Chains A and B, each alone.
Chain A
Amino acid sequence: MAEPILQTTDLVKRFGGLVATDHVSLSLVPGELHAIIGPNGAGKTTLVAQLSGEMAPTAGRVRFDGQDITDLPMPRRARLGLVRSFQITSICPEFSALDNVAMAVQARLGHSFHFWRNARTDPALIMPARRVLEQVDLAARADVPAGLLSHGEQRQLEVAIALATEPKLLLLDEPMAGMGREESQRMVSFLQTLKRRYTILLIEHDMDAVFALADRISVLVYGKVIATGLPDEVRANPEVQHAYLGDEAEEAAAAEAANA
Protein backbone atom coordinates (compact mmCIF):
# COMPACT_ATOMS: atom_id res chain seq x y z
CA MET A 1 0.00 0.00 0.00
CA ALA A 2 1.14 3.49 -0.79
CA GLU A 3 2.04 6.06 1.86
CA PRO A 4 -1.26 7.27 3.35
CA ILE A 5 -2.32 10.79 2.37
CA LEU A 6 -4.28 11.23 5.56
CA GLN A 7 -3.68 9.53 8.84
CA THR A 8 -5.18 10.10 12.25
CA THR A 9 -3.75 8.51 15.34
CA ASP A 10 -5.88 8.06 18.43
CA LEU A 11 -7.98 11.11 17.73
CA VAL A 12 -10.19 12.00 20.70
CA LYS A 13 -12.77 14.75 21.03
CA ARG A 14 -14.68 15.27 24.24
CA PHE A 15 -17.62 17.59 24.77
CA GLY A 16 -17.80 17.60 28.55
CA GLY A 17 -18.73 14.04 29.41
CA LEU A 18 -19.57 13.08 25.83
CA VAL A 19 -16.85 11.38 23.82
CA ALA A 20 -17.74 12.38 20.25
CA THR A 21 -14.53 10.99 18.78
CA ASP A 22 -13.10 8.00 20.58
CA HIS A 23 -9.54 7.06 19.66
CA VAL A 24 -10.09 7.18 15.93
CA SER A 25 -7.15 5.94 13.88
CA LEU A 26 -7.93 6.21 10.19
CA SER A 27 -5.71 6.08 7.20
CA LEU A 28 -6.51 7.02 3.62
CA VAL A 29 -4.56 5.88 0.59
CA PRO A 30 -4.14 8.33 -2.29
CA GLY A 31 -6.85 7.84 -4.91
CA GLU A 32 -9.28 5.90 -2.78
CA LEU A 33 -12.84 6.81 -2.01
CA HIS A 34 -13.24 6.04 1.64
CA ALA A 35 -16.70 6.25 3.10
CA ILE A 36 -17.63 6.74 6.73
CA ILE A 37 -21.03 5.59 7.79
CA GLY A 38 -22.65 5.70 11.16
CA PRO A 39 -25.97 6.50 12.83
CA ASN A 40 -27.07 10.04 13.72
CA GLY A 41 -24.85 11.58 16.34
CA ALA A 42 -22.09 9.03 15.82
CA GLY A 43 -19.56 11.83 15.53
CA LYS A 44 -19.05 11.96 11.76
CA THR A 45 -19.30 15.73 11.40
CA THR A 46 -17.19 16.19 14.51
CA LEU A 47 -14.51 14.05 12.87
CA VAL A 48 -14.66 16.11 9.67
CA ALA A 49 -14.38 19.28 11.75
CA GLN A 50 -11.18 18.00 13.31
CA LEU A 51 -9.75 16.89 9.99
CA SER A 52 -10.52 20.21 8.34
CA GLY A 53 -9.15 22.20 11.27
CA GLU A 54 -12.35 23.82 12.41
CA MET A 55 -12.22 22.02 15.75
CA ALA A 56 -9.14 21.12 17.77
CA PRO A 57 -9.06 17.51 18.96
CA THR A 58 -8.82 16.85 22.69
CA ALA A 59 -6.01 14.38 21.98
CA GLY A 60 -4.37 12.60 19.06
CA ARG A 61 -2.65 13.70 15.87
CA VAL A 62 -3.60 14.30 12.26
CA ARG A 63 -1.06 13.87 9.46
CA PHE A 64 -1.74 14.98 5.91
CA ASP A 65 0.45 14.64 2.85
CA GLY A 66 3.59 13.99 4.84
CA GLN A 67 3.23 16.58 7.58
CA ASP A 68 1.62 16.89 10.97
CA ILE A 69 -1.27 19.34 10.58
CA THR A 70 -2.90 18.92 13.99
CA ASP A 71 -2.15 22.52 14.97
CA LEU A 72 -2.87 24.18 11.63
CA PRO A 73 -6.00 26.34 11.27
CA MET A 74 -8.61 25.57 8.62
CA PRO A 75 -7.41 28.04 5.94
CA ARG A 76 -3.88 26.66 6.10
CA ARG A 77 -5.11 23.10 5.70
CA ALA A 78 -7.31 24.13 2.80
CA ARG A 79 -4.31 25.64 1.06
CA LEU A 80 -2.41 22.41 1.58
CA GLY A 81 -5.20 20.69 -0.31
CA LEU A 82 -7.42 19.36 2.46
CA VAL A 83 -10.82 20.83 1.71
CA ARG A 84 -14.23 20.03 3.10
CA SER A 85 -17.82 20.54 2.11
CA PHE A 86 -20.48 21.14 4.74
CA GLN A 87 -23.37 18.93 5.71
CA ILE A 88 -25.41 22.07 6.34
CA THR A 89 -24.93 24.17 3.22
CA SER A 90 -22.50 26.99 3.80
CA ILE A 91 -22.36 29.44 0.91
CA CYS A 92 -22.22 33.19 0.42
CA PRO A 93 -25.94 33.69 -0.19
CA GLU A 94 -25.77 37.09 -1.90
CA PHE A 95 -22.97 36.11 -4.25
CA SER A 96 -23.98 34.45 -7.48
CA ALA A 97 -23.20 30.76 -7.87
CA LEU A 98 -20.32 31.82 -10.10
CA ASP A 99 -18.97 34.26 -7.50
CA ASN A 100 -19.04 31.52 -4.88
CA VAL A 101 -16.96 29.21 -7.03
CA ALA A 102 -14.70 32.04 -8.23
CA MET A 103 -13.91 32.81 -4.60
CA ALA A 104 -12.58 29.29 -4.21
CA VAL A 105 -10.51 29.66 -7.37
CA GLN A 106 -9.21 32.96 -6.02
CA ALA A 107 -8.22 31.27 -2.78
CA ARG A 108 -6.29 28.63 -4.71
CA LEU A 109 -4.43 31.22 -6.77
CA GLY A 110 -2.76 32.68 -3.68
CA HIS A 111 -3.32 35.72 -1.53
CA SER A 112 -6.08 38.19 -2.38
CA PHE A 113 -4.22 41.42 -1.76
CA HIS A 114 -5.09 42.64 -5.24
CA PHE A 115 -6.90 45.91 -4.97
CA TRP A 116 -7.32 47.16 -8.48
CA ARG A 117 -8.35 44.74 -11.18
CA ASN A 118 -12.01 43.78 -11.34
CA ALA A 119 -12.35 40.23 -10.04
CA ARG A 120 -15.67 39.58 -11.77
CA THR A 121 -14.19 40.10 -15.22
CA ASP A 122 -10.87 38.38 -14.49
CA PRO A 123 -10.62 35.36 -16.80
CA ALA A 124 -8.15 33.71 -14.42
CA LEU A 125 -11.04 33.40 -11.94
CA ILE A 126 -14.09 33.21 -14.16
CA MET A 127 -12.99 30.55 -16.64
CA PRO A 128 -12.03 27.89 -14.10
CA ALA A 129 -15.13 28.75 -12.07
CA ARG A 130 -17.38 28.25 -15.11
CA ARG A 131 -15.72 24.94 -15.88
CA VAL A 132 -16.46 23.66 -12.39
CA LEU A 133 -20.06 24.86 -12.58
CA GLU A 134 -20.41 22.97 -15.84
CA GLN A 135 -19.09 19.84 -14.17
CA VAL A 136 -21.80 19.99 -11.52
CA ASP A 137 -24.50 20.96 -14.05
CA LEU A 138 -24.99 24.42 -12.63
CA ALA A 139 -23.69 26.44 -15.58
CA ALA A 140 -27.18 27.63 -16.46
CA ARG A 141 -27.61 29.00 -12.96
CA ALA A 142 -24.23 30.73 -12.77
CA ASP A 143 -25.59 34.25 -12.28
CA VAL A 144 -28.31 33.42 -9.78
CA PRO A 145 -27.64 34.58 -6.21
CA ALA A 146 -26.68 31.42 -4.36
CA GLY A 147 -29.29 32.06 -1.66
CA LEU A 148 -32.03 31.78 -4.29
CA LEU A 149 -30.93 28.41 -5.65
CA SER A 150 -33.00 25.35 -4.80
CA HIS A 151 -31.79 23.13 -1.99
CA GLY A 152 -30.48 20.56 -4.42
CA GLU A 153 -28.66 23.19 -6.44
CA GLN A 154 -27.09 24.58 -3.28
CA ARG A 155 -25.82 21.09 -2.46
CA GLN A 156 -24.26 20.89 -5.92
CA LEU A 157 -22.74 24.32 -5.41
CA GLU A 158 -21.34 23.22 -2.06
CA VAL A 159 -19.41 20.45 -3.82
CA ALA A 160 -18.44 22.75 -6.70
CA ILE A 161 -16.86 25.24 -4.28
CA ALA A 162 -14.75 22.52 -2.70
CA LEU A 163 -13.74 21.17 -6.12
CA ALA A 164 -12.70 24.58 -7.38
CA THR A 165 -9.89 24.64 -4.84
CA GLU A 166 -8.43 21.60 -6.64
CA PRO A 167 -7.98 19.68 -3.41
CA LYS A 168 -5.71 16.73 -2.84
CA LEU A 169 -8.24 15.32 -0.45
CA LEU A 170 -11.91 16.08 -0.56
CA LEU A 171 -13.92 15.74 2.65
CA LEU A 172 -17.57 15.48 1.73
CA ASP A 173 -19.94 15.65 4.68
CA GLU A 174 -23.20 14.13 3.49
CA PRO A 175 -23.30 15.77 0.05
CA MET A 176 -26.73 14.22 -0.58
CA ALA A 177 -28.24 15.57 2.66
CA GLY A 178 -31.83 16.60 2.10
CA MET A 179 -31.77 15.82 -1.62
CA GLY A 180 -34.61 14.13 -3.47
CA ARG A 181 -34.22 10.66 -4.92
CA GLU A 182 -33.41 11.82 -8.43
CA GLU A 183 -30.99 14.52 -7.30
CA SER A 184 -29.22 11.99 -5.11
CA GLN A 185 -28.85 9.65 -8.05
CA ARG A 186 -27.29 12.43 -10.10
CA MET A 187 -24.92 13.30 -7.28
CA VAL A 188 -23.89 9.65 -6.96
CA SER A 189 -23.05 9.44 -10.65
CA PHE A 190 -21.20 12.72 -10.38
CA LEU A 191 -19.16 11.46 -7.45
CA GLN A 192 -18.46 8.39 -9.54
CA THR A 193 -16.77 10.65 -12.10
CA LEU A 194 -14.63 12.21 -9.36
CA LYS A 195 -13.44 8.84 -8.17
CA ARG A 196 -9.73 8.22 -8.85
CA ARG A 197 -9.22 11.85 -9.85
CA TYR A 198 -9.46 12.88 -6.23
CA THR A 199 -8.92 11.17 -2.94
CA ILE A 200 -12.27 11.42 -1.20
CA LEU A 201 -13.48 10.91 2.32
CA LEU A 202 -17.23 10.60 1.98
CA ILE A 203 -19.59 10.82 4.92
CA GLU A 204 -22.92 9.44 3.92
CA HIS A 205 -26.13 8.07 5.31
CA ASP A 206 -27.48 6.61 2.10
CA MET A 207 -26.36 2.97 2.15
CA ASP A 208 -26.99 2.34 -1.54
CA ALA A 209 -24.83 5.31 -2.41
CA VAL A 210 -22.05 4.26 -0.07
CA PHE A 211 -21.89 0.69 -1.26
CA ALA A 212 -22.01 1.85 -4.87
CA LEU A 213 -19.17 4.31 -4.49
CA ALA A 214 -16.78 3.34 -1.75
CA ASP A 215 -13.49 1.51 -2.12
CA ARG A 216 -13.38 1.10 1.62
CA ILE A 217 -15.80 1.83 4.39
CA SER A 218 -15.31 2.69 8.05
CA VAL A 219 -18.16 2.39 10.46
CA LEU A 220 -18.41 4.92 13.25
CA VAL A 221 -20.59 4.25 16.27
CA TYR A 222 -20.57 6.39 19.39
CA GLY A 223 -17.36 8.03 18.22
CA LYS A 224 -15.55 4.72 17.73
CA VAL A 225 -14.53 3.09 14.46
CA ILE A 226 -15.95 -0.40 14.92
CA ALA A 227 -14.93 -1.68 11.50
CA THR A 228 -12.90 -0.70 8.46
CA GLY A 229 -12.65 -2.64 5.26
CA LEU A 230 -13.91 -3.41 1.79
CA PRO A 231 -17.67 -2.93 1.34
CA ASP A 232 -18.35 -6.64 1.36
CA GLU A 233 -16.30 -7.19 4.49
CA VAL A 234 -18.09 -4.42 6.26
CA ARG A 235 -21.46 -5.66 5.10
CA ALA A 236 -20.67 -9.10 6.43
CA ASN A 237 -19.27 -7.88 9.76
CA PRO A 238 -21.71 -9.09 12.45
CA GLU A 239 -20.81 -6.27 14.81
CA VAL A 240 -21.64 -3.73 12.11
CA GLN A 241 -24.87 -5.48 11.29
CA HIS A 242 -25.82 -5.47 14.89
CA ALA A 243 -24.87 -1.90 15.60
CA TYR A 244 -25.84 -0.19 12.44
CA LEU A 245 -27.23 -2.03 9.50
CA GLY A 246 -30.08 -3.39 11.53
CA ASP A 247 -31.99 -6.66 11.49
CA GLU A 248 -32.98 -6.32 7.90
CA ALA A 249 -29.38 -6.35 6.75
CA GLU A 250 -28.58 -9.11 9.18
CA GLU A 251 -31.29 -11.22 7.65
CA ALA A 252 -30.17 -10.34 4.16
CA ALA A 253 -26.62 -11.27 5.01
CA ALA A 254 -27.78 -14.51 6.58
CA ALA A 255 -29.79 -15.27 3.47
CA GLU A 256 -26.79 -14.50 1.31
CA ALA A 257 -24.60 -16.72 3.44
CA ALA A 258 -27.18 -19.49 3.14
CA ASN A 259 -27.26 -19.12 -0.64
CA ALA A 260 -23.48 -19.16 -0.96
Chain B
Amino acid sequence: MSEKPSAFLSRRGGATTLCFAVLALIPPLAGWLHEPFLIRQFIQIMAMGLAAMSLDLILGYGGLVSFGHAAFVGLAGYTVGILDFHAGDGSLFLGLIPGTTNALIAWPAAIAVSMLAAALIGLVCTQAGGTVFFMLTLAFAQMVYYGFSGWTLYGSDEGLSMGGRSELPLLDISDNTNFYYFCFAVLLLCFLAMRAIVGSRFGMVLRGVRQNERRLAAVGVPTRPYRLAAFVIAGGFAGVAGILLANYQTFVSPGDLSWTRSGELISMVVLGGLGSLIGPVLGAAAYLLLRLVIGSYTTHWAVVFGPFLILVVLFARAGLFGFVVRGREV
Protein backbone atom coordinates (compact mmCIF):
# COMPACT_ATOMS: atom_id res chain seq x y z
CA MET B 1 0.00 0.00 0.00
CA SER B 2 2.87 2.28 0.72
CA GLU B 3 4.79 1.46 -2.45
CA LYS B 4 1.93 1.98 -4.83
CA PRO B 5 -0.55 4.44 -3.46
CA SER B 6 -2.07 5.12 -6.87
CA ALA B 7 -2.72 1.47 -7.69
CA PHE B 8 -4.15 1.08 -4.24
CA LEU B 9 -6.41 4.07 -4.71
CA SER B 10 -7.65 2.97 -8.09
CA ARG B 11 -8.39 -0.43 -6.63
CA ARG B 12 -10.47 1.23 -3.97
CA GLY B 13 -12.19 3.31 -6.59
CA GLY B 14 -12.83 0.24 -8.71
CA ALA B 15 -14.28 -1.74 -5.83
CA THR B 16 -16.47 1.20 -4.84
CA THR B 17 -17.76 1.63 -8.38
CA LEU B 18 -18.48 -2.07 -8.53
CA CYS B 19 -20.51 -1.90 -5.31
CA PHE B 20 -22.66 0.91 -6.65
CA ALA B 21 -23.00 -0.80 -10.02
CA VAL B 22 -24.31 -3.95 -8.35
CA LEU B 23 -26.76 -1.89 -6.29
CA ALA B 24 -27.97 -0.12 -9.46
CA LEU B 25 -28.69 -3.48 -11.08
CA ILE B 26 -30.73 -4.96 -8.25
CA PRO B 27 -34.19 -3.85 -9.51
CA PRO B 28 -33.80 -5.32 -13.03
CA LEU B 29 -32.30 -8.42 -11.44
CA ALA B 30 -35.30 -8.68 -9.12
CA GLY B 31 -37.62 -8.33 -12.13
CA TRP B 32 -35.73 -10.99 -14.05
CA LEU B 33 -35.83 -13.41 -11.11
CA HIS B 34 -39.44 -12.54 -10.31
CA GLU B 35 -38.33 -11.74 -6.77
CA PRO B 36 -39.73 -8.23 -6.04
CA PHE B 37 -38.84 -8.96 -2.45
CA LEU B 38 -35.18 -8.36 -3.36
CA ILE B 39 -35.94 -4.69 -3.98
CA ARG B 40 -37.30 -4.23 -0.49
CA GLN B 41 -34.43 -6.20 1.00
CA PHE B 42 -31.87 -3.99 -0.69
CA ILE B 43 -33.69 -0.80 0.29
CA GLN B 44 -33.18 -1.93 3.85
CA ILE B 45 -29.55 -2.77 3.12
CA MET B 46 -28.93 0.68 1.66
CA ALA B 47 -30.66 2.47 4.56
CA MET B 48 -28.81 0.44 7.19
CA GLY B 49 -25.66 0.71 5.11
CA LEU B 50 -25.95 4.48 5.16
CA ALA B 51 -26.43 4.42 8.94
CA ALA B 52 -23.31 2.24 9.25
CA MET B 53 -21.40 4.50 6.85
CA SER B 54 -22.22 7.52 9.01
CA LEU B 55 -20.99 5.62 12.06
CA ASP B 56 -17.79 4.80 10.18
CA LEU B 57 -17.10 8.51 9.94
CA ILE B 58 -16.56 8.75 13.69
CA LEU B 59 -15.72 5.12 14.49
CA GLY B 60 -13.48 4.16 11.59
CA TYR B 61 -11.86 7.51 10.89
CA GLY B 62 -12.03 9.24 14.26
CA GLY B 63 -11.68 6.15 16.46
CA LEU B 64 -14.65 7.33 18.51
CA VAL B 65 -16.52 4.23 19.61
CA SER B 66 -20.09 5.42 19.90
CA PHE B 67 -22.50 2.90 21.27
CA GLY B 68 -25.51 5.13 20.76
CA HIS B 69 -25.51 5.80 17.06
CA ALA B 70 -28.91 4.21 16.47
CA ALA B 71 -30.44 6.96 18.61
CA PHE B 72 -29.78 9.48 15.85
CA VAL B 73 -31.14 7.12 13.22
CA GLY B 74 -34.24 6.53 15.31
CA LEU B 75 -34.78 10.16 16.26
CA ALA B 76 -35.04 11.16 12.61
CA GLY B 77 -37.34 8.23 11.97
CA TYR B 78 -39.55 9.24 14.87
CA THR B 79 -39.62 12.83 13.65
CA VAL B 80 -40.97 11.65 10.29
CA GLY B 81 -43.36 9.25 12.04
CA ILE B 82 -44.65 11.77 14.55
CA LEU B 83 -45.22 14.45 11.88
CA ASP B 84 -47.06 11.83 9.84
CA PHE B 85 -49.15 10.92 12.89
CA HIS B 86 -50.23 14.53 13.49
CA ALA B 87 -50.92 15.05 9.81
CA GLY B 88 -53.23 12.06 10.06
CA ASP B 89 -55.53 13.41 12.75
CA GLY B 90 -54.87 17.14 12.39
CA SER B 91 -53.59 17.48 15.95
CA LEU B 92 -50.52 19.43 17.01
CA PHE B 93 -47.20 18.06 18.25
CA LEU B 94 -46.85 19.26 21.87
CA GLY B 95 -49.88 21.44 21.11
CA LEU B 96 -47.70 23.64 18.92
CA ILE B 97 -46.52 22.11 15.70
CA PRO B 98 -48.85 20.78 12.99
CA GLY B 99 -48.02 17.47 11.35
CA THR B 100 -47.05 16.96 7.73
CA THR B 101 -46.41 14.21 5.25
CA ASN B 102 -44.52 16.58 2.98
CA ALA B 103 -40.96 15.30 2.68
CA LEU B 104 -39.63 18.78 1.99
CA ILE B 105 -40.68 19.82 5.48
CA ALA B 106 -40.54 16.60 7.47
CA TRP B 107 -37.11 15.45 6.27
CA PRO B 108 -35.13 18.59 6.96
CA ALA B 109 -36.86 18.70 10.34
CA ALA B 110 -35.81 15.10 10.98
CA ILE B 111 -32.19 15.80 10.07
CA ALA B 112 -32.21 18.91 12.25
CA VAL B 113 -33.55 16.90 15.20
CA SER B 114 -30.81 14.29 14.81
CA MET B 115 -28.09 16.90 14.52
CA LEU B 116 -29.39 18.90 17.44
CA ALA B 117 -29.56 15.79 19.59
CA ALA B 118 -26.05 14.87 18.47
CA ALA B 119 -24.84 18.36 19.38
CA LEU B 120 -26.35 18.21 22.87
CA ILE B 121 -25.30 14.64 23.58
CA GLY B 122 -21.92 15.19 21.93
CA LEU B 123 -21.27 18.24 24.06
CA VAL B 124 -21.21 15.99 27.11
CA CYS B 125 -19.76 12.83 25.55
CA THR B 126 -16.81 14.42 23.73
CA GLN B 127 -15.40 15.69 27.00
CA ALA B 128 -14.07 12.21 27.40
CA GLY B 129 -12.46 9.69 25.12
CA GLY B 130 -12.19 5.92 25.03
CA THR B 131 -14.31 3.87 27.36
CA VAL B 132 -15.92 6.85 29.04
CA PHE B 133 -17.08 8.19 25.67
CA PHE B 134 -18.44 4.75 24.85
CA MET B 135 -20.37 4.50 28.14
CA LEU B 136 -21.72 8.03 27.89
CA THR B 137 -23.04 7.57 24.36
CA LEU B 138 -24.70 4.36 25.48
CA ALA B 139 -26.25 6.07 28.50
CA PHE B 140 -27.70 8.92 26.44
CA ALA B 141 -29.00 6.58 23.77
CA GLN B 142 -30.73 4.56 26.49
CA MET B 143 -32.38 7.73 27.78
CA VAL B 144 -33.74 8.41 24.30
CA TYR B 145 -34.86 4.80 24.07
CA TYR B 146 -36.74 4.89 27.37
CA GLY B 147 -38.22 8.25 26.44
CA PHE B 148 -39.88 6.81 23.37
CA SER B 149 -40.84 3.47 24.84
CA GLY B 150 -42.72 5.37 27.55
CA TRP B 151 -44.39 7.86 25.22
CA THR B 152 -47.90 6.40 25.03
CA LEU B 153 -49.17 8.92 22.49
CA TYR B 154 -46.69 7.49 19.98
CA GLY B 155 -47.32 3.85 20.72
CA SER B 156 -44.78 3.23 23.51
CA ASP B 157 -43.05 -0.10 23.00
CA GLU B 158 -45.44 -1.03 20.23
CA GLY B 159 -44.11 1.67 17.93
CA LEU B 160 -45.87 4.01 15.60
CA SER B 161 -47.33 3.09 12.21
CA MET B 162 -47.23 5.69 9.47
CA GLY B 163 -50.04 6.37 7.02
CA GLY B 164 -47.62 5.83 4.19
CA ARG B 165 -44.30 7.09 2.86
CA SER B 166 -43.55 10.81 2.85
CA GLU B 167 -44.67 12.74 -0.20
CA LEU B 168 -42.10 14.18 -2.57
CA PRO B 169 -42.90 16.45 -5.46
CA LEU B 170 -42.27 14.93 -8.91
CA LEU B 171 -41.35 11.48 -7.63
CA ASP B 172 -43.78 8.91 -6.28
CA ILE B 173 -41.77 6.99 -3.71
CA SER B 174 -44.70 4.84 -2.67
CA ASP B 175 -43.61 2.78 -5.65
CA ASN B 176 -40.88 0.39 -4.48
CA THR B 177 -38.70 0.67 -7.56
CA ASN B 178 -38.87 4.46 -7.49
CA PHE B 179 -38.08 4.43 -3.80
CA TYR B 180 -35.24 2.03 -4.45
CA TYR B 181 -33.55 4.35 -6.92
CA PHE B 182 -34.25 7.30 -4.69
CA CYS B 183 -32.45 5.56 -1.80
CA PHE B 184 -29.66 4.63 -4.20
CA ALA B 185 -29.20 8.28 -5.19
CA VAL B 186 -29.26 9.40 -1.56
CA LEU B 187 -26.69 6.75 -0.62
CA LEU B 188 -24.44 7.79 -3.50
CA LEU B 189 -24.67 11.49 -2.65
CA CYS B 190 -24.05 10.88 1.04
CA PHE B 191 -21.09 8.68 0.14
CA LEU B 192 -19.60 11.39 -2.07
CA ALA B 193 -20.13 14.00 0.62
CA MET B 194 -18.56 11.85 3.35
CA ARG B 195 -15.68 10.92 1.09
CA ALA B 196 -14.99 14.60 0.53
CA ILE B 197 -15.18 15.21 4.26
CA VAL B 198 -12.70 12.48 5.19
CA GLY B 199 -10.28 13.78 2.56
CA SER B 200 -10.53 17.39 3.68
CA ARG B 201 -8.50 19.20 6.32
CA PHE B 202 -11.27 18.39 8.75
CA GLY B 203 -10.99 14.74 7.78
CA MET B 204 -7.23 14.75 8.30
CA VAL B 205 -7.73 16.07 11.82
CA LEU B 206 -10.32 13.35 12.42
CA ARG B 207 -7.92 10.64 11.25
CA GLY B 208 -5.22 12.18 13.38
CA VAL B 209 -7.49 12.03 16.42
CA ARG B 210 -7.67 8.26 16.09
CA GLN B 211 -3.93 7.83 15.65
CA ASN B 212 -2.44 10.25 18.12
CA GLU B 213 -4.46 12.98 19.72
CA ARG B 214 -1.50 14.24 21.71
CA ARG B 215 0.45 14.87 18.54
CA LEU B 216 -2.34 17.07 17.20
CA ALA B 217 -2.52 19.04 20.42
CA ALA B 218 1.24 19.52 20.34
CA VAL B 219 1.14 21.21 16.92
CA GLY B 220 -1.76 23.41 17.96
CA VAL B 221 -4.93 21.53 17.09
CA PRO B 222 -7.42 21.43 19.95
CA THR B 223 -9.16 18.17 19.15
CA ARG B 224 -12.40 18.46 21.03
CA PRO B 225 -14.24 20.87 18.70
CA TYR B 226 -13.40 18.56 15.81
CA ARG B 227 -14.58 15.48 17.63
CA LEU B 228 -17.81 17.26 18.46
CA ALA B 229 -18.31 18.48 14.90
CA ALA B 230 -17.68 14.97 13.57
CA PHE B 231 -20.22 13.60 16.03
CA VAL B 232 -22.83 16.10 14.84
CA ILE B 233 -22.10 15.49 11.15
CA ALA B 234 -22.32 11.73 11.67
CA GLY B 235 -25.59 12.31 13.53
CA GLY B 236 -26.92 14.24 10.54
CA PHE B 237 -26.10 11.45 8.09
CA ALA B 238 -27.55 8.94 10.55
CA GLY B 239 -30.68 11.07 10.41
CA VAL B 240 -30.80 10.71 6.63
CA ALA B 241 -30.55 6.95 7.08
CA GLY B 242 -33.33 7.11 9.67
CA ILE B 243 -35.59 8.90 7.22
CA LEU B 244 -35.04 6.21 4.59
CA LEU B 245 -35.54 3.46 7.14
CA ALA B 246 -38.78 4.92 8.52
CA ASN B 247 -40.13 5.32 5.01
CA TYR B 248 -39.08 1.81 4.11
CA GLN B 249 -40.82 0.37 7.15
CA THR B 250 -43.65 2.99 7.25
CA PHE B 251 -43.23 2.30 10.91
CA VAL B 252 -40.98 3.44 13.73
CA SER B 253 -40.42 1.78 17.08
CA PRO B 254 -38.07 2.04 20.04
CA GLY B 255 -36.24 -0.91 18.48
CA ASP B 256 -34.94 1.52 15.85
CA LEU B 257 -32.99 3.42 18.48
CA SER B 258 -32.11 0.66 20.90
CA TRP B 259 -28.59 -0.24 22.02
CA THR B 260 -28.90 -3.54 20.19
CA ARG B 261 -29.38 -1.61 16.96
CA SER B 262 -26.32 0.49 17.80
CA GLY B 263 -24.43 -2.75 18.34
CA GLU B 264 -25.62 -4.05 14.98
CA LEU B 265 -24.33 -0.90 13.32
CA ILE B 266 -20.92 -1.38 14.94
CA SER B 267 -20.91 -5.00 13.73
CA MET B 268 -21.67 -3.84 10.20
CA VAL B 269 -18.84 -1.31 10.22
CA VAL B 270 -16.33 -3.79 11.63
CA LEU B 271 -17.51 -6.54 9.30
CA GLY B 272 -17.40 -4.30 6.25
CA GLY B 273 -14.16 -2.52 7.07
CA LEU B 274 -13.39 0.34 9.42
CA GLY B 275 -12.44 3.58 7.74
CA SER B 276 -13.61 2.75 4.26
CA LEU B 277 -17.14 4.27 4.09
CA ILE B 278 -18.31 1.87 1.40
CA GLY B 279 -17.21 -1.14 3.45
CA PRO B 280 -19.97 -0.63 6.03
CA VAL B 281 -22.54 -0.90 3.22
CA LEU B 282 -20.99 -4.25 2.32
CA GLY B 283 -21.10 -5.05 6.01
CA ALA B 284 -24.78 -4.17 6.18
CA ALA B 285 -25.49 -6.34 3.15
CA ALA B 286 -23.54 -9.28 4.58
CA TYR B 287 -25.12 -8.86 7.99
CA LEU B 288 -28.72 -8.56 6.81
CA LEU B 289 -28.46 -11.27 4.16
CA LEU B 290 -26.73 -13.66 6.53
CA ARG B 291 -29.42 -13.02 9.10
CA LEU B 292 -32.04 -13.70 6.48
CA VAL B 293 -30.48 -16.94 5.32
CA ILE B 294 -29.35 -18.31 8.67
CA GLY B 295 -32.49 -17.02 10.33
CA SER B 296 -34.56 -19.26 8.11
CA TYR B 297 -32.81 -22.31 9.60
CA THR B 298 -32.41 -21.31 13.22
CA THR B 299 -33.64 -18.64 15.58
CA HIS B 300 -30.23 -18.58 17.26
CA TRP B 301 -28.64 -16.86 14.33
CA ALA B 302 -26.33 -14.81 16.54
CA VAL B 303 -24.59 -18.05 17.52
CA VAL B 304 -23.47 -18.32 13.91
CA PHE B 305 -22.91 -14.63 13.27
CA GLY B 306 -20.76 -14.02 16.35
CA PRO B 307 -17.99 -16.44 15.39
CA PHE B 308 -18.23 -15.26 11.78
CA LEU B 309 -17.59 -11.68 12.86
CA ILE B 310 -14.64 -12.80 14.97
CA LEU B 311 -13.17 -14.70 12.02
CA VAL B 312 -13.49 -11.66 9.79
CA VAL B 313 -11.83 -9.47 12.38
CA LEU B 314 -9.02 -11.98 12.87
CA PHE B 315 -8.32 -12.80 9.24
CA ALA B 316 -9.42 -9.68 7.41
CA ARG B 317 -8.65 -6.93 9.85
CA ALA B 318 -9.76 -4.30 7.39
CA GLY B 319 -13.07 -6.12 6.97
CA LEU B 320 -14.73 -7.39 3.83
CA PHE B 321 -13.83 -4.29 1.86
CA GLY B 322 -10.23 -4.54 3.02
CA PHE B 323 -10.29 -8.15 1.87
CA VAL B 324 -11.06 -6.91 -1.63
CA VAL B 325 -8.65 -3.98 -1.81
CA ARG B 326 -6.16 -4.91 0.93
CA GLY B 327 -5.66 -2.26 3.52
CA ARG B 328 -7.49 0.41 5.36
CA GLU B 329 -7.55 3.99 4.25
CA VAL B 330 -5.65 6.45 6.39
Contacts and interface: CB of A to CB of B under 8 A. Distances in A.
Contacts of B218: 52, 54, 74, 78, 83-84, 86, 90, 162
Given A113-B229, A114-B200, A116-B196, A75 B217 contact: yes
A120 B199 contact: yes
Contacts of B202: 112-115
Contacts of B27: none
Given A95-B211, A103-B216, A115 B197 contact: yes
B204 A103 contact: yes
A118 interface: yes
B169 interface: no
A107 B2 contact: no
Given A83-B220, A91-B212, A112-B205, A118 B2 contact: no
A181 interface: no
A102 B216 CA distance: 11
Interface string B197-229: 101111111011001101111111111001001
A188 interface: no
Contacts of A78: 217-220
Interface of B: 2, 5, 196-197, 199-205, 207-208, 211-212, 214-223, 226, 229, 328, 330
Contacts of B2: 96, 143-145, 148
A74 B215 CA distance: 10
Given A54-B218, A73-B217, 10 more contacts: A75-B221, A78-B218, A83-B219, A90-B214, A92-B211, A93-B211, A99-B330, A112-B226, A113-B202, A113-B229
B219 to A, nearest CB: 4
B208 A92 contact: yes
A76 interface: yes
Interface residues of A, number: 45
A73 B222 contact: yes
A165 interface: yes
Contact of A95 (B196, B208, B214): B208
A50 interface: no
B212 A92 contact: yes
B149 to A, nearest CB: 36
B222 A106 contact: no
Contact of A165 (B205, B211, B219): B219
26 contacts: A73-B222, A74-B217, A75-B220, A83-B220, A91-B212, A92-B207, A93-B211, A95-B211, A95-B330, A96-B2, A99-B204, A100-B215, A103-B215, A106-B205, A107-B220, A113-B202, A113-B226, A114-B200, A117-B200, A119-B200, A143-B2, A144-B2, A145-B2, A162-B218, A162-B219, A165-B220
Nearest to B215: A90
A76 B219 contact: no
Given A78-B218, A93-B211, A108-B220, A119 B229 contact: no
B330 A145 contact: yes
B220 A95 contact: no
A73 B218 CA distance: 10
Contacts of A161: 215, 219
A116 B200 contact: yes
A209 B220 CA distance: 29
Contacts of A148: 2
Contact of A93 (B200, B204, B212): B212
Contact of A107 (B212, B216, B330): B216
The 8 closest A-B pairs by CB, nearest first: A78-B220, A94-B330, A92-B211, A75-B222, A107-B220, A79-B220, A114-B201, A104-B219
A229 B196 CA distance: 54
A73 B223 CA distance: 12
A78 to B, nearest CB: 3
Contacts of A115: 196-197, 200, 202-203
B148 to A, nearest CB: 31
Interface string A197-208: 000000000000
B194 to A, nearest CB: 10
Nearest to B214: A90
A107 B328 CA distance: 25
B274 to A, nearest CB: 12
Contacts of A86: 218
